[in-house]
A = this chain, B = another copy of it.
Amino acid sequence: MSRYQASGYWYGEGRSVPEAVDLLNLMRKYREAERKMRAATRGSMGMNETDMSALRFLLAAHRKGLVPRQRDFAEELGISNASVSVLIDRLCRDGYAERIVHPADRRSVGIVPTDYSDTDVRGTLHRMHERMMDAVCTLSEAERVAVAKFLKAMIRSVEIEDEPSQPSRGKSQMAESTASSR
């Protein structure tokens, strides 16, 4: 393979301008690199794939001031409520999350991340995110427009035969941490 050379990339036959297929290859390469990185992070935290996803989801929700319920995890992760219950057990056991009484519905259990989990995850993922930001910030306006066009086309390509139409998910509601008891 090695189309990579210390001084930069080259595409077949010494071209330095990428063709369509080269972009798709780069896309694949990115995906692979990201997968590895996530696997490494996961490994270093001794976590499994879905637990990691769950934790990311939890932190994201928390930053928006939301308190997700177990049900929300089930929907987000595509696993059963029963499995979520056990998953949250693991997260709590390892000190990443805590169960609290849900502010808006006392039948539910609200899940909040611990401070520890926040710093721990940020330690690995946040640095990467910042590098990405830095990198993207060096792009000119025209370049950003081109990239957006590309990404939108990619999204359309994979979504097309996904579902005919599914505006979907009208019932997350997680209750906005304040006692917005409806």
**A63 CB–B CB distance under 8 Å:** no
- What is the CA–CA distance of A139 and B150 in the complex, to the nearest angstrom? 8
| CB 8 Å contact bits of A21-65 with B (1 = contact, 0 = none) | 111101101110110110110000000000000000000000000
Given A33-B162, A131-B160, A133-B24, CB of A149 within 8 Å of CB of B155:
no
Nearest-neighbour CB distance to chain B for A105, whole angstroms, equals 23
**A90 CB–B CB distance under 8 Å:** no
**A107 CB–B CB distance under 8 Å:** no
**A171 CB–B CB distance under 8 Å:** no
Nearest-neighbour CB distance to chain B for A37, whole angstroms, equals 5
A132 x B146 contact (CB < 8 A) = no
A151 x B30 contact (CB < 8 A) = yes
Given A136-B150, A148-B23, CB of A128 within 8 Å of CB of B18:
no
**A143 CB–B CB distance under 8 Å:** yes
Stoichiometry, as copies per complex, reads 2
A137 x B20 contact (CB < 8 A) = yes
- What is the CA–CA distance of A133 and B148 in the complex, to the nearest angstrom? 16
- What is the CA–CA distance of A157 and B126 in the complex, to the nearest angstrom? 11
**A101 CB–B CB distance under 8 Å:** no
**A179 CB–B CB distance under 8 Å:** no
B144 x A147 contact (CB < 8 A) = no
A124-182 residues at the B interface, CB under 8 angstroms = 124, 127-129, 131-133, 135-139, 141-162
12 contacts between A and B (CB under 8 A): A23-B151, A24-B132, A24-B133, A27-B151, A34-B158, A37-B159, A127-B161, A128-B158, A132-B153, A135-B156, A136-B153, A139-B149
